Structure 1
Amino acid sequence: MLLAGTALAGLAGAAQAQTAAAQLTTAGTRIDNTASVTYSVNGTNQSTTSTTASFVVDKKVNFTVVTAQTGPTQVNLGDQNAVTTFRVTNLTNDVQDFLLDPDQQNISLGLFPGSDNFDLTSLRAYVDSNGNGRYDAGVDTQTWIDELAPDASVTVFIVGNVPNQAGAQYAYDSLRVVAAAGGQSGTQGSALIATDLNLNGADGTVDIVFADDDSDGALLGDIARNGQGRAYSGYFVAINNVALSVAKSARVLADGLGSANPKAIPGATVEYCLRVSNATLNASANGVTLNDVVPAHTTYVPGSISIGTPGALGIACVVNGSTEDDDSDDATETDGVTASFDGVAKKVVANVGTVSGGGSVAASFKVTID
Structure 2
Amino acid sequence: MATIVETKSKTWKAVIRKQGWPTTVKTFRLKRDAVDWARRTEDEMVRGVHIERATSGRLTFDKALDRYLSEVTPTKRATTQRAEKLKAVPVRKFFGAYSLAAINVDLVARYRDERLATLSQRKSKSTGKAAALSPATVRLELALLGHVFTTAIREWRIGLVQNPVANVRKPTTGEGRNRRLNAGEEKRLRETIEAYSNPMLGWIFTVALETGMRSSEITGLKLRQVDIARRIVRLDVTKNDSARTIPLTKRAAETFTAALANPVRPKDCDLVFFGEPGRDGKRRPYTFSKAWNDIKESLGMSDLRFHDLRHEAVSRLVEAGFSDQEVSAISGHKSMQMLKRYTHLRAEDLVDRLDAIGKANKAAIAKKKRSAKK
TM norm. shorter chain > 0.5: no
The higher radius of gyration belongs to 1
More strand by proportion, 1 or 2?
1
More helix by proportion, 1 or 2?
2
Normalised TM-score (structure 2): 0.22
